[in-house]
Amino acid sequence: MSDGEMRPDLTSAAGVMTHLASGNERQRSAYRALKQSGLMELLAAYHPYPAGTVPIDIDVPGSDIDLLCEAEDLERFRAVVHQALGEMEGFQCTLVTRETGVSPYVVCSVSTGGWSVEIFAQSMPVRQQNAYRHMLVEWALLTHWGREGHKEIRRLKNKGMKTEPAFAYALGLNGDPYAELLNLADKSDEELADLVRSRPVTSEKSQPPL
């Protein structure tokens, strides 16, 4: 993204959908998959928010569409999703209650329009969920980096790195990359711009540690 372009507002589901609808070929394909499947409407009571790598244009072959949801009663959510989506191709749904350091969640998956869609729900507002906060800070960093940032993160992901570790590597951050990205999510846009200026990316970096 050039300095003269306005950054799309990805803080709401409506903003993300608008961005996807007018985006690149992959983003428009994801938009069609979500619209034609009716997933946004079927999950409307749970405030579905399209997240992940596709909206911020760092997806690679095999990337899926993520839908974050808020569900106070996770057991009820799983039952509702099973009833509404159970006949869709590739349907799977699991309630996870014991994972160290992570609040209980439900994760479901379906296939539609050539995409795998992962539905993730926790008993907290979407805006408080780590995946939401990660995506927005990653989007801010990419906006400040420009096209080279997108190229470098894709390069690292194609080498086998997960998204958050790829950002942490590009930024030279130490420690748990997921926690480090959450720390950056609390920074102002000006602070993120300063960080990016101090850590310019290049696609000629050495092989990342995998």
Domain range for 57: 13-124
Cβ neighbourhood burial of 180 (10 Å; 0-12, 13-18, 19+):
middle
Q: Are residues 17 and 117 located together in one domain of the fold?
A: yes
Q: Are residues 152 and 117 located together in one domain of the fold?
A: no
| Chain center to CA of 49 | 9
The predicted-structure confidence for 93-135, as pLDDT tens digits, reads as follows: 999 988 777 899 999 999 999 999 999 999 999 999 999 999 9
CB proximity list for 207: less than 8 A, separation 6 or greater:
159
The DSSP code for 124 is: S
Q: Is the dihedral of CA 128, 68, 141, 18 positive or negative?
A: negative
Q: Are residues 186 and 120 located together in one domain of the fold?
A: no
At 1, is the pLDDT very low, low, confident or very high (cuts 50, 70, 90)? very low
Which pairing describes strands 49-51 and 65-70: parallel, antiparallel, or unpaired?
Answer: antiparallel
pLDDT greater than 70 at residue 209: no
Q: Are residues 77 and 141 located together in one domain of the fold?
A: no
In a domain, 7, yes or no: no
At 181, is the pLDDT very low, low, confident or very high (cuts 50, 70, 90)? very high
Last residue of a domain, one of 92, 124, 156: 124
Q: Are residues 104 and 139 located together in one domain of the fold?
A: no
The predicted-structure confidence for 125-163, as pLDDT tens digits, reads as follows: 999 999 999 999 999 999 999 999 999 999 999 999 999
Question: What's the pTM value of the predicted model, to 2 decimals?
Answer: 0.90
The total domain count for the chain is 2
